[in-house]
Structure 1
Amino acid sequence: MAGFDWFWRAMGGSSARKNQKRGKEIVAHASEVRRQLKSLSDDDLRGQLQTSDMGTKLAVLAEAAQRTLGLDPFDCQVKAVLHLLDGDVIQMATGEGKTLVGAMAAVGFVAEGKKVHILTVNDYLARRDSAWMSPLVDFFGLSVGAIYEGLDANQRRQEYLKDIVYGPVNEIGFDVLRDRQVTSRTDQVHTAVDVALVDEADSVLVDEALVPLVLAGSIPGEAPTGHITDIVRDLRENMHYVIDDDRRNVFLTDAGADYVAAALGLDSLYDGDQAAHILVHVNLALHAKALLIRDIHYLVRDGKIQLIDSSRGRIAELQRWPDGLQAAVEVKEGLSVSEGGKILDTITIQALMGRYATLCGMTGTAVEATDQLRQFYDLGVAVIERHKPLTRFDEADRIYATAEDKNRALVAEIRRIHDTGQPVLVGTHDVAESEALAAALSDLDVNVLNAKNDDEEARIIAEAGDVGRITVSTQMAGRGTDIRLGGADESRYQQVVERGGLAVIGTGRHKTARLDNQLRGRAGRQGDPGLSLFFVSLHDDMVVSGGSGEHITAHPDAEGRIDQKRVDDFIAHCQRVTEGQLLEIHAQTWKYNKLLTDQRAIIDERRARLLDTDQAWKELQERAPERAAEVKDRPKIAETAREIMLFHLDEEWSEHLSIMDEVRESIHLRAVAKETPLDEFHRIAVREFKDLAQRAVDKAVETFQEVTIDPQGVAQLADQGRARPSATWTYMVSDNPLASGGNSVMSGIGNIFR
């Protein structure tokens, strides 16, 4: 009963009961109406969509799905559509048909006069789902498109005009950033949109919420010198530097600071005109050495650093660390330092979501993210029951005293299961672990799916449910793709069922139960049999981090296994602690980001006035009347005034971001000085922003007075070094508080407050 009470509290208590009752009544009504609709012609059926009765609308959508796609929605799918239209995040188990649900809901929103973005986690899903669902959308005379990497501006502009647009969240965000640089509305690709329907909502809205999307312009990169890197390479842990318990932060000791200062020929790292600059580079080199580990946090491929997305266990396309840290790792690995970039603009995924009037989503694991979804988005969670009962067996954790004991038992269990012919999917935490496990099973045919071969993902996942398969995967490979028993064609389905279905084994608990459940959910699709089992040791990162400062007395057997309830409870406690840590990090980091988001909104308002009116020309006439009188009859002078004003506004905003980035990188020093870092950050941000708009106007007036303006009224801005960057690019900064170890540069901010 306690578990039932917890469920209702998570869902919002008595209001959730009322919503559940309302949902059942509407779905039952829709089922009745649908029987009547079956006799209607296609034209008559389409005409029923505009009804104000929700049950009828759902019935029309369900009947249209059957006619166009051959998919007959279950009542649970119809209920899911209802909750999406109500603005909830729905939790649906793997294989329950979220793709169809999303498309039906999108059509329902459009019927209400709204434009919809369906946000996916990658290009493949955006293109697949838009094509797959297009017959349903076309049936109602609506248009559907997809945004993905490789489309040019004109192609993107055409896609965004469509009623329903599928696209990866990062691509949508990059287009927002590029639109913020245009000097004419005709160059903008985005159009007004009302609804964001987020696929894999927990991944996008929680795991990646604070990932900054960045638009940069070319400038030379700056890195710690090779000399600093060589000095730092010789530092020894616990003598020259210490790492905190959850391995998110590294600090020089007094002995370390003295050692580095002496090696650099300085009296101190903390005094002198260049001290702050040098200390930043020393800290970057130390972070690269101590916290960023090859084959766990990044790969080196083709002479380049490639980051690993820790929440998915694959290459994080387009991601890089902030320029200084990126360069520090490149120097550490002996690579050429890549070109840096002047940040022109940036937006977090969480701030991007704030641009939509209506936000909803779907995922297999939403309940565990209820607090984050409510706190940061004011979203409720609706759990959609399965179409068929779950028959998967979730075995109790097998807990061991040491990592060595755990790994021996893990390998033995995989071999035992494999001998029966039951397919096994093993979820590991990083590339290094996946490869070590595969090596331990080298005498067997093992498919390894990690960041080094993620281009083979579709093929490997498609066959992971076949008889005798062993698939070793990092994290949540293959989200969005079902693992079908018996192989991709299910030709040996019955053989796998007879062997117990897919067995999912975790090599350790994650820092949140939600990530555990994502892995567990790969088995037991659509009522199929299956098994889930996690191996845990008292030396696992999650246990060490969550149990920091606590001691547990355990009595392992001869094989190192511990079978004591209080140890089980301790493991659960450790996970709750790490979940709390992550929520606090998210809350604190959002407070740093929110002020800049609010300031960006002020810049957006100013930009809109300059873009959509003659405000720029009016201001320049007022501030520089003599120059204005000289050029006022030139046909393009109003456009030139707008271009000059926008250039300086954007330039000042870029400089503001650069200043605040430097402040944030050094904010921990203010914590050492007993100042409150967040308050100090806000004080500086407000002070620096206060005169930004006026500085932009003053510089625009100066440029207007000095620049050469031709007879058409076009200013030769390039001659004065006032041209926009000739090359820009987009990337994502690795800034994920769910990242393990040192993969989160920003995570240190949250730790200050613990």
Structure 2
Amino acid sequence: MKAIQQVKTFFQRLKSSNITDNLLPYQEQFNQILAQTNQLSLQSDAELQALALSLKSKAKLAPSVDTYLVDLYALVIQAFIRTLSITPYAVQILAAIALSQRTVIEMQTGEGKTLVAVFPACLQAMSGKGVHVLTFNDYLARRDAMWTLPVYTFLGLSVGYIEEEHTLEEKRRAYHCEVTYTTAKQVGFDYLRSCMAYTLDEIVIRELHCAIVDEADALLIDEARNPLVLAANLEVAAIDLTQVARFVTHLQEQRDYLTDEYARNVYLTEWGSTQAEHYFRLQNLYDSEQHPLLTAINLALQAKALLHRDIDYIIEGDQIKLIDECTGRVVEDRKWPNGLQSAVEAKEGLPIQSEGRILNSISLQHLMACYEKVSGMTGTARQAAEEFAKTYGLGVTVIPTHKPYQRKDHPDRVYTHKTAKLQAILQEVDTIHRRGRPILIGTLTVRESEELQAHLQQHGITCTVLNARHHEREAAIIEKAGMLSAVTIATNMAGRGTDIRLGGKEAIDRERIIALGGLHIIGTNRHESNRIDKQLKGRAGRQGDPGSTQFIISMEDDLMVKYNLKSLLPARYQQIRQEQALENTTVSKSIDQAQRIIEGQLHEMRQTLYRYSSFIETHRKIFLTQRQYVLFSNDNNLSPLQQGYILYQYDRLWSEYLTDIASIREGIFWERMAGREPLTEFYKKSDVLFQDLLSLLETTLTQMHTLPDEDLKIKRPSATWTYIVSDNPFERPLAGFLRRLAMLKF
């Protein structure tokens, strides 16, 4: 009951003062901006540019650039009018004023978030300290930077963007622009590299001053649990993982291994253990000296039974590419931790690419805390308001739409099984397609999107697929998705950062499509977070256009099975099987309720992870401050050889600390069995570990002065690489929680 009350309390707090739709506090500045804009309209381009240069000089000396918000925003409006022939709407200007505060603005799809971000970006850039506009992916960073370039140039501001394949010199130039468009993970990786620089030339990034975060809930909430990692020194596995994968291939479920009720864990049966001992010629698989082999077998079983190609990952060349469940995109550089990545590589017969030794790591939550100023924008902020406030100190401001909202969201149609759902989807597509309306179908996985394409083609309906295999064609596919009779199937890739225009880029047949009812969205699955469902719905009905949405789901869908949501339904619906949709509204309400509970529990999980990582982050900052002092020191008592040796010792010892802290985390929850609070014990143990680290560092550096120059020469890693550690998909307690909830008839 305590857990249930925590969830209730969480959602009650969402209705608190963290959320506002009151824009009256900004009205006076808004009126001043409009009056100033009218005055500036009489001046020449050269006069406006001279004024911008003057403001820039003053802002660099001012305690706060906010003093010049009215003057600067009026200039930005004129810059949009004169370079892009765009006159910002009133709600966009109000949103820009709100965005200059520590807040996340909620703006619906197509309302111009990219335009709005330019205002505070220009304002903060006047300080000369640099602004990062953090986008959802590299494509959006490049697109947004190039589209807004004329405005920044007109105002005398430099703008750059960063893509993953850019060289260090290209990145350095972009970071030293006054406005930089990039992704948060790119900033994080470059920050980690700069924190481990051995010379000033190796530092590519400036101090983190201001961040304006696009799709803020995706970055600051959904991605926050995945640490960014800098690694090096490839390590060869002591176990032949290919041999282990070959053994596991022949194992049969029920006989040799079992999965738990929710298919989130897998383990050998007694018969399976006997088979392993025979195959590897062992006396006892569970002897302590066989622990590495037992671990490898368990990981291979997870790779075989719990991770599926074209659902959890795809293969490109000889590499495993993980698919983000929230976005449907391939996430470059993401890996499963603790040997699971290597197990999947072995399963697929690919070269084993070790995860290596972690040199440094930071969570996105703590990366954002490094910025002096943070604000954000998204189409779905309200549901995450409590977390924005608690973790980042950000409020939520809801911005009204420029034109009246016309999209119609139909109630979910819920079927008892997948076959009935598929027939309903085919019928829905056929009916809407015959009228000529464009259709966007949102699917959960790559496999589902391609299977649905095959079914539609068998029914004579031509369609285009956008999934992780076709990410390079994303812009072209989205550009045509709003055209007459277009049918587009997409994973969550089409859920964020995209704007589907009726009639396509050239607005061909736009008025006819509007008359037909606009874009129709079909969702084939509910997600763990209702925010993701709303992002899909938000592709339709942009800027007052008509549109409609319809989720067609079944009780056999992944979300329903994973969390045993059927058990939350009234008893008479738990065993029924029929071809028609379930009519009772109780079904949809039960699914909504379960989704809210899942969101609340995921929130609590992120907060727990944050409490653990915050203590480590405190240690990292202390250690980094000492290291940076050495790097930037002009002590003529240290030779370059000695300085390099000291920096290397900091890096070596910090890497060992991260390895040891991971071991503590692995077993910390056993403390509860002894009646102790795991978090408190973690604080105690990690603090002791850190004090030992400082003592060892002092001893090492003291001994340095007795070493000959030859021993001071260090060998740095010949190469480093980055990846994002996906949160462990096999340790989520939600299914058990929901099962207990159903038993309580909540």
User: After TM superposition, is the score higher than 0.5?
Assistant: yes
In structure 1, C-alpha distance between the alignment counterparts of 2:675 and 2:241, rounded to whole Å: 31
Aligned counterparts of 1:163 and 1:193: Cα–Cα separation in 2: 12
The equivalent residue for 2:6 is: none
Match of 2:524? 507
Q: Contact 2:568 / 2:590 at 8 angstroms: preserved in 1?
A: no
Return the match for 1:206 from 205, 221, 232.
221
Q: What amino acid does structure 2 have at the position aligned with 1:281?
A: A
The answer to whether 1:296 aligns with 2:311 is yes
Per-residue deviation, 1:599: 1.6
Show the counterpart of 1:20: 23
| Aligned partner letter, 2:557 | D
Change (3 A) 1:411 1:450: same
2:136 aligns with one of 105, 121, 129: 121
How far is 1:254 from its partner? 6.3
Whole-Å separation in 2 of the counterparts to 1:520 and 1:32: 38
The answer to whether 1:460 aligns with 2:477 is yes
Correspondence 1:567 to 2:583: no
For residues 579-632 of structure 1, the C-alpha deviation after alignment (integer angstroms, 9 at most, x for no partner) is 1222122122223322222221111111122122367x86xxxxxxxxxxxxxx
Q: CA deviation at 1:224?
A: 6.0
Q: Please give the alpha-carbon distance, in whole angstroms, between the structure 1 residues aligned to 2:12 and 2:110.
A: 25
Structure 1 window deviating more from structure 2 (69-78 vs 593-602): it is 593-602
Unmatched runs of 5 consecutive residues or more in structure 2: 1-9, 60-65, 739-746
2:730 matches 1:727: no
Q: Distance in 2 between matches of 1:406 and 1:554?
A: 20
Q: Secondary structure at the match of 2:99?
A: helix
Residue 109 of structure 2: aligned partner = 94
Partner of 1:547: 565
Does the Cα contact within 8 Å between 1:118 and 1:164 map onto a contact in 2?
Answer: yes
Q: In the alignment, what sits opposite 1:650?
A: 651
1:518 to partner: Cα distance: 0.3
1:285 is the counterpart of 2:277: no
Task: For residue 150 of structure 1, report the CA deviation from its aligned partner.
Answer: 3.0
Letter in 1 for 2:345: E
| C-alpha distance 752-348 of structure 1, shift in aligned 2 (>3 A) | farther
| Residues 1:484 and 2:494 aligned together | no
Residues 25/400 of structure 1: CA separation in 2 closer, same or farther (3 Å cut): farther
Task: Please give the per-residue CA displacement for 1:660-691, whole angstroms capped at 9, x wherever unaligned.
Answer: 33444555677788876545544443333221
C-alpha distance in 1 between matches for 2:364 and 2:482: 34
Alpha-carbon contact 1:118-1:198 (below 8 Å) kept: yes
Aligned to 2:378: 363
Secondary structure class of the residue paired with 1:606: helix
Deviations 1:348-390 (A, max 9, x none): 2222111101111111111122222122212111111111111
Give the Cα separation in 2 of the matches to 1:107 and 1:727: 37
Query: Partner of 2:606 in structure 1?
Result: 586
Residue 340 of structure 2 corresponds to 325
Shift of 1:394: 0.7
Q: How does 1:158-177 map to 2 (within 5 A)?
A: 158-177=173-192
Q: Distance in 2 between matches of 1:293 and 1:579?
A: 25
In structure 2, what residue type is equivalent to 1:640? L
Relative distance call for 1:751 and 1:504 in structure 2 (3 A) is: closer
| Corresponding residue number in structure 2 for 1:31 | 34
The Cα shift of 1:114 comes to: 4.8
Matched with 1:218 is 233
Return closer, same or farther for 1:207/1:546 CA change in 2, 3 Å cut-off: farther
Q: Give the alignment of 1:613-624 within 5 angstroms.
A: 613=633
Question: Distance between the aligned counterparts of 2:735 and 2:560, measured in 1?
Answer: 18
Displacement of 1:440 = 0.8
Amino acid at match of 1:507: T
CA distance 1:248–1:151, shift in 2 (3 Å): same
Residue in 2 aligned with 1:521? 538
The answer as to 2:80 corresponding to 1:65 is: yes
After superposition, what is the alpha-carbon deviation per residue over 1:159-202, rounded to whole angstroms, capped at 9, x for unaligned?
Answer: 22222111121211111111121122343112123211111111
Cα distance in 1 for partners of 2:175, 2:608 equals 34
Deviations, residues 183-230 of structure 1 (Å, cap 9, x unaligned): 223431121232111111111111111222221213234266334334
Asked whether the equivalents of residues 92 and 386 of structure 1 are also in contact (C-alpha less than 8 Å), the reply is yes
Correspondence for 2:690: 689
C-alpha contact (below 8 Å) 2:433/2:439 kept by paired residues: yes
Alpha-carbon distance, 1:27 to partner: 2.4
- Selected match of 1:497 from 496, 514, 527: 514
SS in 2 for 1:690: helix
After superposition, the Cα gap between the structure-2 partners of 1:8 and 1:551, relative to the gap in structure 1 and judged at 3 Å, is closer
Higher mean alpha-carbon deviation, 565-574 vs 537-546, is at 537-546
Distance of 2:709 and 2:68 partners within structure 1: 64
Question: What amino acid is the match of 1:449?
Answer: L
Cα distance 1:677–1:208, how it changes in 2: closer, same or farther (>3 A)? same
Residue 85 of structure 2 corresponds to residue 82 of structure 1: no
Determine the C-alpha separation between the residues in 1 that align with 2:44 and 2:558: 61
Going from structure 1 to structure 2, the CA distance change for 1:9 and 1:48 (only over 3 Å counts) comes to: farther
**22-31 vs 357-366, which moves further:** 22-31
Amino acid corresponding to residue 514 of structure 1 in structure 2: R
Partners of 1:208 and 1:341 in 2: CA distance: 23
Do structure 1's residue 475 and structure 2's residue 498 form an aligned pair? no
- The aligned counterpart of 1:142 is 157
Range with bigger deviation, 220-229 or 104-113: 220-229
Paired residues in the alignment total 711
- Once residues 332 and 565 of structure 1 are traced to their aligned partners in structure 2, the CA distance between those partners, rounded to angstroms, is 44
Aligned mates of 2:712, 2:354 — CA distance in 1: 27
CA shift for structure 1 position 267: 5.7
Are the structure 2 counterparts of residues 665 and 690 from structure 1 closer, same or farther at C-alpha, using a change threshold of 3 Å? same
Distance 1:193 1:557, change over 3 A: closer
Using the TM superposition, give the Cα deviation of residue 467 of structure 1 relative to its aligned residue in structure 2, in angstroms. Answer: 0.9
Pairing of 1:594-673 with structure 2 (within 5 A): 594-613=614-633, 637-665=638-666
Provide the C-alpha distance between the structure 2 equivalents of 1:267 and 1:681, rounded to a whole number of angstroms: 37
What's the secondary structure of 1:705's corresponding residue? coil
CA distance in 2, matches of 1:381, 1:77: 16
Give the one of 220, 223, 228 matched to 2:244.
228
The RMSD of aligned alpha carbons is 3.0
Of 351, 356, 362, 1:341 maps to 356
Counterpart CA distance in 2 for 1:724 and 1:22 is 55
Separation in 2, partners of 1:547, 1:602: 46
Calculate the TM-score normalised by the size of structure 2: 0.88
The answer to whether the Cα contact below 8 Å between 1:649 and 1:693 also exists between their aligned partners in 2 is no
1:520·1:532 contact (CA, 8 Å) conserved in 2?
yes
Secondary structure (helix, strand or coil) at the match of 1:477 reads helix
| SS of the residue 1:52 aligns to | helix
Contact kept in structure 1, 2:18 and 2:386, CA below 8 Å: no
Give the Cα–Cα distance (whole angstroms) in 2 for the partners of residues 265 and 675 of structure 1: 41
Maintained 8 Å contact 1:288/1:329? yes
2: CA distance, partners of 1:494 / 1:688: 67
| Mean Cα deviation higher: 425-434 or 322-331 | 322-331
Give the aligned residue type for 2:571. Answer: T
1:189 aligns with 2:193: no
Q: Secondary structure at the residue paired with 1:426?
A: strand
User: In the superposition, relative to structure 1, how do residues 668 and 227 fare at CA in structure 2: closer, same or farther (>3 Å)?
Assistant: farther
> Which residue type is aligned with residue 546 of structure 2?
P
Work out whether residues 315 and 451 of structure 1, in 8 Å CA contact, stay in contact via their aligned partners in 2.
yes
- State the SS of the aligned residue for 2:441: strand
Partners in 1 of 2:292 and 2:195 — Cα distance? 31
Distance 1:14 1:671, change over 3 A: closer
For each residue in 1:243-273, what CA deviation from the matched residue of structure 2 results, as whole angstroms up to 9, or x when unmatched? 455544445566655664565555655542x
Question: Compared with structure 1, are the counterparts of its residues 695 and 382 closer, same or farther at alpha carbon in structure 2 (3 Å cutoff)?
Answer: same
Q: Find the residue that maps to 1:314 and give its secondary structure.
A: coil
